[in-house]
Amino acid sequence: MTIDNIIKIRNVSFTYPDAKEPAINNVTFDIERGSWTSIIGHNGSGKSTIIRLINGLLDAGENANSKIEVDGIRLTQKTVWDIRNRVGVVFQNPDNQFVGATVADDVAFGLENRGVSRLEMMKIVPKAIAAVGMSEYADSEPGSLSGGQKQRVAIAGIIAIKPKIIILDEATSMLDPDGRSQVLQIVQQMKDKYGLTVIAITHDIDETALADQVLVMNDGQIVTQGKPESVFKKTKLLNELGLTVPFFQQVKKDLQSNAINIPNTINSEKELINYLCQLNSKK
Ligand SMILES: Nc1ncnc2c1ncn2[C@@H]1O[C@H](COP(=O)(O)OP(=O)(O)OP(=O)(O)O)[C@@H](O)[C@H]1O
Ligand SMILES: [Mg+2]
């Protein structure tokens, strides 16, 4: 079976005006339709820049060797709006994403911009707000909501546009643990319900457990990529890049280096706990 890649990035580079070094340096990768990809990397490694290139907020210029393709459409100045309808981005700061006076107005904003009729909007908006569990706040002022609720409203605004890809650029990093898990849960639900493709830039290493694929960036390049379990085995590389590995991976490694054999099939905290309990009961 051939793999259906919704995003194809080929040999893409980008240098900010006046910058000496490229922020993105000859990057190539694919993202499979319907998958969840986590992007990790230290500050300034190029994570946000690659996202801005994908939805055309930044322009890598056109040349024969490089391309950005989203949902089968090559990104050019002509197709940028077409592509933006397919890609919704939730940013880090919940307070910077509101334009409407009420939650409902805010969610309607993107539709209004796209010339959707009032009648259509009245159908779409309440559904999108319900999907993120915010119906009782439809008439509230966005400013009165918690950080997690604000991010859920931002997600509703994106869902209303019916995108194919949702990108979270550290969208949970300013939230408390409850807000964070609620937002991630909503995104997971939206992914399952609408077959969305998710790209999540994160500093929260445990969040990468949700991913099918992890991309690790450093100095504008992808230094390694793969399934979370294979990426997090590379503890030496990750440590060199100043990145932590998930807690259970670290425990597993420490046990292994103390001659306690943990099978490589153990790939989550829960599996590790179960395995250790079994070991203990066999003694
Ligand atoms: N608007 C800008 N103008 C000039 N240089 C920029 C601009 N935005 C980012 N850069 C530079 O480009 C490089 C990549 O930045 P980018 O914001 O993509 O990193 P990041 O991985 O998202 O970092 P963080 O984890 O801090 O969000 C950095 O060297 C940064 O200083
Ligand atoms: Mg960033």
Residue indicated by tokens 């580079």: 13
Counting ligands in written order, which one lies closest to the CA of residue 40? 1
> What pLDDT does 63 receive?
81
Farthest CA pair distance, the chain: 69
Ligand 2 geometric centre to CA of 201 (Å): 8
Q: Which residues line ligand 1 (CB under 6 A)?
A: 16, 19, 23, 41, 43-49
Strand positions, DSSP E, 91-202: 165-169, 197-201
Nearest ligand to the CA of 43 is 1
Separation of 92 CA from ligand 2 center, angstroms? Answer: 9
Query: What spacing in Å lies between the alpha carbon of 28 and ligand 2's midpoint?
Result: 19
Give the pLDDT of residue 283.
Answer: 60
**215, 38 in Cβ contact below 8 A?**
yes
User: Which atom of ligand 1 is nearest the CA belonging to 42?
Assistant: 25
Q: What is the reported pLDDT for 85?
A: 93
Residue 119 confidence (pLDDT): 95
* Beta bridge partner(s), residue 112: none
CA gap 11, 106 in Å, rounded: 37
Total H helices, total E strands in the chain: 10, 10
Distance 14 CA to ligand 1 centre (A): 11
Q: 55 alpha carbon to ligand 1 midpoint, in Å?
A: 16
Distance spanning both ends of the chain, measured CA to CA: 46
Q: Which atom of ligand 1 is nearest to the CA of 41?
A: 21
Q: Give residue limits of the domains in the chain.
A: 1-86+164-234, 98-162, 246-283
3-state secondary structure 187-208: HHHHHHHHCCEEEEECCCHHHH
- Ligand 1 nearest atom to the CA of residue 45, by list position: 21
Ion ligand 2, residue ranges at CB < 5 A: 47-48
Q: Could you tell me the mean pLDDT of each successive run of 10 residues in the chain, 283 residues long?
A: 92 95 96 97 95 94 90 95 94 85 94 93 95 95 92 93 95 89 92 94 86 96 93 88 82 84 81 86 67
Q: 1-86+164-234 is classed in which CATH architecture?
A: 3-Layer(aba) Sandwich (3.40)
Q: Whose CA is nearest to atom 30 of ligand 1?
A: 44
Other C-beta atoms within 10 Å of 31: how many? Answer: 22
